[in-house]
Amino acid sequence: MKCPVCGGDCIEDAQAVMDRVPGIFSPCPHCSYRVLDKNAPPPGRTYGPPCSCGKRFIDEVFAHLYVILVEEGVFSGKEPLKATGMPLIHPGFFTTGPPFLPPNSLVLVSPVVTPGAAARMVYEVPEVRGIVKSGDFVPGAVDPALARPPRTYDLLAGCDVRAGIFPTSAGPLVIFTQQSQMHIEFPRPRNPKIESVERVIAQATPRWFVDACAGSGTLGLCAARHGVKNVVLNDAWYAAAFWSAQNIIVNRAFFRVDEVTQHLSYSAMKDGQVSREPVLVAHTRGDQSLSVYWGDFRELYRVLPPEPVCTVLDLFDKSDREANRQVMREWQSRVPGEVFIP
Q: Quick one: 5 or 233, whose CB is closer to Zn ion?
A: 5
| Stretch of 45-53, 142-150, 214-222, 300-308 contacting Zn ion, by CB under 5 A | 45-53
Q: Three-state SS for 131?
A: strand
Q: Quick one: 244 or 275, whose CB is closer to Zn ion?
A: 244
Distance in angstroms (rounded) separating the CA atoms of residues 103 and 156: 19
The least distance separating Zn ion from the CB of residue 80, rounded to whole angstroms, comes to: 27
CA distances to 154, 268, 319 from 110, in Å: 10, 28, 27
What is the longest distance spanned by two Cα atoms in the chain?
Answer: 67
86 binds Zn ion (CB under 5 A): no
Mask: binding to Zn ion, 88-107, rule CB under 5 A, as x and -? Answer: --------------------
53 binds Zn ion (CB under 5 A): yes
| Stretch of 152-160, 165-173, 259-267, 320-328 contacting Zn ion, by CB under 5 A | 152-160
The least distance separating Zn ion from the CB of residue 31, rounded to whole angstroms, comes to: 3
157 binds Zn ion (CB under 5 A): no
Report whether 69 contacts 128 (CB < 8 A).
Answer: no
CA distances to 48, 63, 214, 233 from 183, in Å: 33, 26, 12, 17
Residue 242 pairs with which residues in a beta bridge? Answer: none
Q: Quick one: 51 or 210, whose CB is closer to Zn ion?
A: 51
Among 107, 159, 224, 315, binds Zn ion (CB under 5 A): 159
Q: Quick one: 58 or 159, whose CB is closer to Zn ion?
A: 159
Q: Quick one: 5 or 240, whose CB is closer to Zn ion?
A: 5
Backbone CA torsion sign across 272, 275, 277, 280? positive
User: In degrees, to the nearest 5, what angle opens at C-alpha 244 toward C-alphas 154 and 314?
Assistant: 90
Mask: binding to Zn ion, 22-41, rule CB under 5 A, as x and -? Answer: ------x-xx----------
Residues 6+ positions from 17 with CB-CB distance below 8 Å: 91, 163, 165, 174, 250
| Stretch of 8-16, 77-85, 283-291, 324-332 contacting Zn ion, by CB under 5 A | 8-16
Among 51, 156, 194, 260, binds Zn ion (CB under 5 A): 51
The least distance separating Zn ion from the CB of residue 279, rounded to whole angstroms, comes to: 24
Report whether 245 contacts 196 (CB < 8 A).
Answer: no
Distance in angstroms (rounded) separating the CA atoms of residues 195 and 136: 30
Report whether 151 contacts 137 (CB < 8 A).
Answer: yes
Question: SS3 string of 49-111?
Answer: CCCCCCCEEHHHHHHHHHHHHHHCCCCCCCCCHHHHCEEEECCECCCCCCCEECCCCEEEEEC
The least distance separating Zn ion from the CB of residue 248, rounded to whole angstroms, comes to: 19
Residues 6+ positions from 155 with CB-CB distance below 8 Å: 5, 130, 131, 132, 178, 180
Interaction with Zn ion in 204-233: which residues (CB under 5 A)? none
| Stretch of 44-52, 215-223, 272-280, 297-305 contacting Zn ion, by CB under 5 A | 44-52
Q: Quick one: 51 or 292, whose CB is closer to Zn ion?
A: 51
| Stretch of 6-14, 18-26, 291-299, 313-321 contacting Zn ion, by CB under 5 A | 6-14
CA distances to 82, 112, 127 from 85, in Å: 6, 8, 15
User: End-to-end CA distance of the chain, in Å?
Assistant: 31
Q: How many residues bind Zn ion (CB under 5 A)?
A: 12
Q: Quick one: 177 or 291, whose CB is closer to Zn ion?
A: 177
Q: Quick one: 59 or 296, whose CB is closer to Zn ion?
A: 59
Q: Quick one: 31 or 83, whose CB is closer to Zn ion?
A: 31
Among 117, 142, 161, 290, binds Zn ion (CB under 5 A): 161
Return residues touching Zn ion (CB under 5 A): 3, 5-6, 8, 10, 28, 30-31, 51, 53, 159, 161
